[in-house]
Amino acid sequence: MSDLPKIERMTSRPQFLAAAKGASQARGAVVVQRLDRADGDPVVRIGFTATRKVGGAVQRNRAKRRLREAARALIPAHAAPGADYVLIARMGTVGRPWDRLL
């Protein structure tokens, strides 16, 4: 378990804006943005966001909760050390079956 990188949450807007300059891939109900920081720090930072296009506050919060759980399941095994990830919810995030969301 010690070979897994440390994972932290992104909290400030500049971190999200920097990650937006990296590679971006749309994967069904989720857009994944990735930025290699190249700062020598092996910490993986991850952030979650949902725009108002997803729906009202209840739907946006539900979408972000689902993204956090998906990240908890997948990021430790698949994240590259020293990278920032932003998971952006899309309209289908809330209603998508769990196995397809993963």
**pLDDT number for residue 45:** 94
State whether residue 4 is helix, strand or coil: coil
Q: What is the pLDDT of residues 41-54, one digit of tens each?
A: 889 999 999 999 99
SS (H, E, C) 29-91: CEEEEEEECCCCCCCEEEEEEECHHHCCHHHHHHHHHHHHHHHHHHHHHHCCCCEEEEEEECC
Please give the model's pTM, rounded to 2 decimal places.
0.89
Mean pLDDT of 11-20: 93
CB 57 within 8 A of CB 18: no
